[in-house]
Structure 1
Amino acid sequence: MSAVKLNQSDVTTQEAAKLLGISVTSVQQLVERGVLVAWKTQGGHRRIPREAIDALKAERSDLLTDRGRSAPSSTLSALIVEDNALQRMVYEKQIASWDIALETRFCENGYQALVEIAQRKYDILLLDIVMEGIDGYEIVKTVLANPDLRHIDIAVLTTLSREDLDARGGLPDEVLFFQKPIVFEELRGFMRGCAARKARQARVASPA
């Protein structure tokens, strides 16, 4: 992305997402693939010309996979619960670089997470275990106890070892375990598997 003169019609990534009707992550992916033109300010903030957005809407509507009827079947929603701000930034940067239609939201504690889960049925839940107040165990227990939330794929991301977790009572068989520091290729594989399974379910539910 090359520097250009600031234009009043240039918009932020968040504003572009609203204009296109897709997630911020999807906008980032289009920029990284060179489909959507963008540039960065001296402060490192991404800006996208309004003309580029209008052109994409007119010429490549097939790439706007979050829009209309295709959104439920093509875009995953993930809730990431992590109380460390730096770790949240690492997750956000890594996930944005993956070629996965994924809409992510972050929570910094268990209370926020339970509120989010009650308001929206996420596809994926990634969470730390050791947190003040409502910890990861309580969140997992709450999700698995609710029949309406059994579709959620859950993975624990923690500094604890498998032995440490077993000493605390272990994890349910359906909950995956990733030890920090995270091997992001493994986490990416998990997310891609979730995406493939959702796509298969959508095809079965809506046959051509």
Structure 2
Amino acid sequence: MPETCSTTEAAGRLGMAVRSVQLMVDRGELQAWKTPGGHRRILLSSLEAWLAANAGDAEPPAPVPTRRPLTLLLIEDSVHFQNLISLVVKRELPGAELHVASDGIAGLAMAGRLEPDVLLIDILLPGIDGAALITSLRSHPQFARSQLIVVTALDEAQRAPYAFALEGVPVVHKTALVAELPALLARATANLATPA
């Protein structure tokens, strides 16, 4: 039985790239010598010793699928309510990313770029009102799983002209944000966890 092996043979036994084995030799982790032609010859005893010492690490860990954090997009023109909703979201969903748009046009552009999990939308917005925004979002399949929550200062009678867009969308009045938004966020995130 030969006492040495090539870097290619060592790489095969270790399940590594040839370059990784070369670097291990350069760092002194494997004992080797070079042929007159410049090829490394690795001592099998060194290779066996490394394998024994790193037996627990021999199987590389399976890659953990990276999941993006829960992404929310708030489309609201009032800085006061942007701040209030931001505080509620941070308290209820600490690992979530909250993005904010101050008008309907910017909100629509950000929604297309971010494809958020949850959208919190005011009805009365500069640019495009919330109802037109919701209608537009619903017409695009990429937002089929996105959860919508309407945040508004309009009472039920004032919301009547926008009813066509609000059907099936939870609505929270701005005066009840702190009390009602946490439950709506919990329901929205639970709906996201349900398979489509």
TM-score higher than 0.5 here?
Answer: yes
Partner of 1:114: 108
Query: Percent identity, aligned pairs only?
Result: 20
Q: Give 3-state SS (helix, strand or coil) of 1:71's partner.
A: coil
Unmatched segments (≥5 aa) in structure 2:
1-63
Deviations for 1:85-127, whole angstroms, at most 9, x for unmatched residues?
A: 1211111122212255321111111111111111121111101
Cα distance in 2, alignment partners of residues 145 and 99 from structure 1: 28
The one of 115, 137, 155 aligned to 2:149:
155
Alignment of 1:98-177 (within 5 A): 98-177=92-171
**In structure 1, what is the Cα distance between the partners aligned to 2:76 and 2:110?**
14
Find 2:79's aligned residue among 62, 78, 85.
85
- Give 1:33-44 correspondences, 5 Å limit: none
What's the offset of the Cα at 1:141?
A: 0.9
Cα 1:184–1:170 shift into 2, 3 Å: farther
- Structure 2 residue 67 is matched with structure 1 residue 71: yes
Equivalent residue letter for 2:125: M
* Distance (Å, rounded) in 1 between the aligned partners of 2:98 and 2:162: 29
Do structure 1's residue 188 and structure 2's residue 182 form an aligned pair?
A: yes
**Structure 1 runs (4+) greater than 4 angstroms displaced:** none
C-alpha distance in structure 2 between counterparts of 1:196 and 1:175, whole Å? 15
TM score, norm. by length of structure 1: 0.58
**Stretch deviating more after TM superposition (168-177 or 79-88):** 168-177
Q: What is the deviation of 1:177?
A: 0.9
Distance in 1 of aligned mates of 2:182 and 2:65:
26
Q: C-alpha separation between the residues in 2 aligned to 1:132 and 1:70?
A: 36
Q: Counterpart of 1:10?
A: none
Q: CA RMSD of the aligned region, Å?
A: 2.1
Q: Is the Cα contact below 8 Å between 2:88 and 2:181 reproduced in 1? A: no
Question: What secondary structure does 1:130 align onto?
Answer: coil
TM-score, with normalisation over the residues of structure 2?
0.61
Amino acid of the residue matched to residue 179 of structure 2? E
User: 1:9-55: per-residue Cα shift (whole Å, max 9, x none)?
Assistant: xxxxxxxxxxxxxxxxxxxxxxxxxxxxxxxxxxxxxxxxxxxxxxx
Instruction: Give the whole-Å Cα distance in 1 for the aligned partners of 2:134 and 2:70.
Output: 19
CA distance in 2, matches of 1:196, 1:127: 19
Task: Assess if the C-alpha contact under 8 Å between 1:123 and 1:152 holds in 2.
Answer: yes
SS in 2 for 1:154: strand
- Secondary structure of 1:183's counterpart equals helix
Shift of 1:197: 3.0
Q: How many residues align?
A: 133
